[in-house]
Amino acid sequence: MTASALQLARVTHRYAGAERDALSDVTLDAAPGELLAIVGASGSGKTTALRLVAGYERPDAGAILLDGADVTRLPPERRGCGMVFQHYALFPHLSVEENVAFGLEARGVARAERRTRAQRALEAVGLAGTGARRVQALSGGEQQRVALARALVIEPRVLLLDEPLSNLDPTLRVATRDELRALLHRERVTALFVTHDQEDAFAVADRVALLQAGRLLQVGTPETLYDRPASRAVAAFIGRGALVPATLANGTDAAPDVTITLGGVAQRAAARMADGLADGRAHRVLAVLRPEQLALASDAADAAWPGRVTSRRFAGGTTVHQVALDGGVTVQVASADRGVREGDTVRVRLAAAQVAVVGADT
Ligand SMILES: Nc1ncnc2c1ncn2[C@@H]1O[C@H](COP(=O)(O)OP(=O)(O)OP(=O)(O)O)[C@@H](O)[C@H]1O
């Protein structure tokens, strides 16, 4: 079996004087060449996880392994991690090439080889020919790529990226995250990518780990976190879902049905159960209703929940309507219909064949 490129094994860390663990018993791993994102709210422990892997902090318990070797006690310079910071931390008085070659000089690489490798790294990030320019003369997006080239040039065992996109304007950010994913896959880099933005994480990463208050809630592909949240906390954080009280009934053991009754109208779908909810009928459960799983009913004969539009947001191909349903639940409904106005009375149809179900107490 191939060793993981990166492993956090039951890692716990508490800062001196802090009242709670910044990271609590976290186990995570990345396969060689895998892009793993850590997401979570502010203060959830994302940066702490990165600093522990880099070696800037020592865990109180647990171990950090790179390529199967325990590096928990090694200083940062002996771990072979490349870092890209939010503010890039480039040297303004050095040229682009000098910035990129900086880590090689510190490692005693000869001048001619430094130049060749720096130029290759600049090529890899799409900045061939810019080596002589001053970093201050570059745009924000170009500076971000210089920071990436500087981290890649040392051929790191693991690349660590701390909010690398958050300094870019929205348009550039969307383009850059696609490029970043393509580049890291092309170069077969194993990367740990920290962000508070789940769209960035979904766009860049192969798998996403969600932290809350230092604890790992779930790790999986973006699709898994979205379609099959493990708990109420994950369902509430990921995506724009409404969590609605529901009951499980009938169906087979493998796939029970979920029924949601609002304003006296019951609608039903197959349940996509969170793991551990196999005997879900004994639990109180919530259905996770995503905007694209709901539709505005046009046919009066349809079974649909009555409600009122409280706001609408035009989003190009669809308009997302916020609808307060009778029964006190507010949902978001994506619809191509542009004629619905705030204050309109509407009815909302459950359009999905399957709906995610989580435990109400998880
Ligand atoms: N140097 C420190 N000393 C004491 N407590 C700290 C220190 N750094 C972080 N913490 C605390 O540890 C917890 C985790 O912080 P961390 O910076 O890892 O979170 P984060 O998810 O990266 O947050 P953000 O998105 O705001 O950067 C927080 O409660 C924070 O207040």
Q: State the closest ligand 1 atom to the C-alpha of 47, by its place in the atom list counted from 1.
A: 22
Q: What is the mean pLDDT of residues 242-246?
A: 94
What are 268-290's pLDDT values in tens digits?
A: 999 998 887 765 455 689 999 99
> Residue 211's pLDDT band (boundaries 50, 70, 90)?
very high
CA atoms within 13 A on the CB side of 111: 0
Residue nearest to atom 16 of ligand 1 (CA): 45
Structural domains of the chain, with CATH: 6-227 (3.40.50.300), 232-359 (2.40.50.140)
- The minimum-distance atom of ligand 1 relative to the CA of 20 is 29
Q: What are phi and psi of 351, to 5 degrees?
A: -95, -10
Q: What integer pLDDT is reported at residue 283 of this predicted model?
A: 67
16's CB contacts (< 8 A; 6+ apart) are none
Tokens 């979904």 found at: 202
- As a whole number, mean pLDDT of residues 221-228 equals 95
Q: Is the pLDDT of residue 167 over 90?
A: no
- Residue 168: the pLDDT is 81
pTM of the model: 0.90
Amino acid at 37: A
256 confidence band (pLDDT: 50, 70, 90)? confident
**pLDDT given for residue 282 in this prediction:** 56
Answer left, alpha or beta for residue 232, where phi above 0 means left and psi between -120 and 50 means alpha: alpha
Indicate if ligand 1 lies below 6 Å from the C-beta of 48: yes
Report the atom number in ligand 1 closest to the C-alpha of 40. Answer: 21
